[in-house]
Structure 1
Amino acid sequence: MAEAAAPQGNGPMKLTITHHRKPEHTHEAFMKWIVEKHVPLAVPVFKKHGIIGYSLFDTPGSLNGALEQEMKPMRPTWDFADFDCVTEYTLPDVQTIRSLTADPDFAASIADQEDWVDTAKAMVSLGHCTPYLLESGEVMNVAGA
């Protein structure tokens, strides 16, 4: 039987940041601002700094609220997301974060975020990601699979 691969500290890193919109904006307007204004400015800067991947996980309150109503009786201690989205970066290393955030072009891509984002509520995480089930259906890193 094959051994399951333990999560590794090697290879690309994942950086995630949760984002809350400012209350004067709707979720829809906030997501439109990110997709139509921020992303087109930011992606070229991401590429310049060697960022391997970038994705946006849209978490509308309507979905999370419905999930909470359904799951709360079974999982009363769980907290449910109240943020509007999560940005996920795949990075070659931690230095990429430093070089990106020091770039004036990146600063320009987020110049109006204070109008849209409640930055005080952001939650940031950095780590490694180990895949176990791919969208193709392939199972990886699982003993006996």
Structure 2
Amino acid sequence: MSGQALKYTVTHYRKPEHSHEDFIKWIVEVHLPLAIPIFKKHGVIEYSLQVLKPFGKFVTPESLNGALKAEMEKFRPTWDFADFDCFIEYTINDLQVIKNVISDPDWPKAIENQDDWVDTTKALLSVGYSTPYLLKTGEVVNMPK
């Protein structure tokens, strides 16, 4: 599958002594300004932060989550809804990129307060190839002929 982008994801729960709003504010205003130059230096193609609870411009309205949860319970009653505070997604060419990021001499500064904010005992990691099938343009791709 070489040449295909990898998606490396991390979920984070905040430590309970912090509000969700303060937690996201810490990520966006303190962590990311230090981390983004490191990401760029080591070839992270894309980084996105999905916030599952309301926060400023990152709002996922409770009415949207509540409505979806109620509707999905009818069709998939055994499915559980994610309750972490954020979902981070990196697009990378290979796992060496992540190894380079975390071994960068500036990385400890970018995460120096992480243990004060993130409940790292609950973090979930995943990595896999990203294969698009329906593009923003409406074009269907990568389907068997």
Q: Which moved more, 1:60-69 or 1:92-101?
A: 60-69
- TM-score of the two chains, using structure 1 as the length reference: 0.84
**Residue by residue, what CA displacement relative to the aligned partner does 1:24-71 show, whole Å, maximum 9, x if unpaired?**
222222111111111111000001111111111111173544432332
Q: Which moved more, 1:72-81 or 1:132-141?
A: 132-141
Q: Identity of paired residues, percent?
A: 57
Instruction: Name stretches of at least 5 consecutive residues in structure 2 with no aligned partner.
Output: 55-61
For the pair 1:50 / 2:43, whether they are aligned, the reply is yes
Aligned to 1:135: 136
Is 1:64–1:80's contact at 8 Å kept on the other side of the alignment?
Answer: no
Aligned to 1:14: 7
**Residue by residue, what CA displacement relative to the aligned partner does 1:70-97 show, whole Å, maximum 9, x if unpaired?**
3223211101101111111111211112
Is 1:64–1:82's contact at 8 Å kept on the other side of the alignment?
Answer: no
Instruction: Report the Cα distance in structure 1 between the residues aligned to 2:114 and 2:11, rounded to whole angstroms.
Output: 14
Instruction: Report the Cα distance in structure 1 between the residues aligned to 2:67 and 2:105, rounded to whole angstroms.
Output: 41
Report deviation, 1:120: 0.7
Query: Aligned in 2, Cα 1:28/1:83: closer, same or farther, shift over 3 Å?
Result: same
Instruction: Report the Cα distance in structure 2 between the residues aligned to 1:16 and 1:104, rounded to whole angstroms.
Output: 22
Instruction: Report the Cα distance in structure 2 between the residues aligned to 1:57 and 1:130, rounded to whole angstroms.
Output: 20
Aligned to 1:85: 86
Is 1:49–1:100's contact at 8 Å kept on the other side of the alignment?
Answer: yes
Aligned to 1:4: none
**Residue by residue, what CA displacement relative to the aligned partner does 1:94-120 show, whole Å, maximum 9, x if unpaired?**
111211111121121111111111111
For the pair 1:39 / 2:40, whether they are aligned, the reply is no
Is 2:11–2:84's contact at 8 Å kept on the other side of the alignment?
Answer: yes
Is 2:15–2:117's contact at 8 Å kept on the other side of the alignment?
Answer: yes
For the pair 1:60 / 2:61, whether they are aligned, the reply is no
**Which AA in structure 2 matches 1:16?**
T
- TM-score of the two chains, using structure 2 as the length reference: 0.84
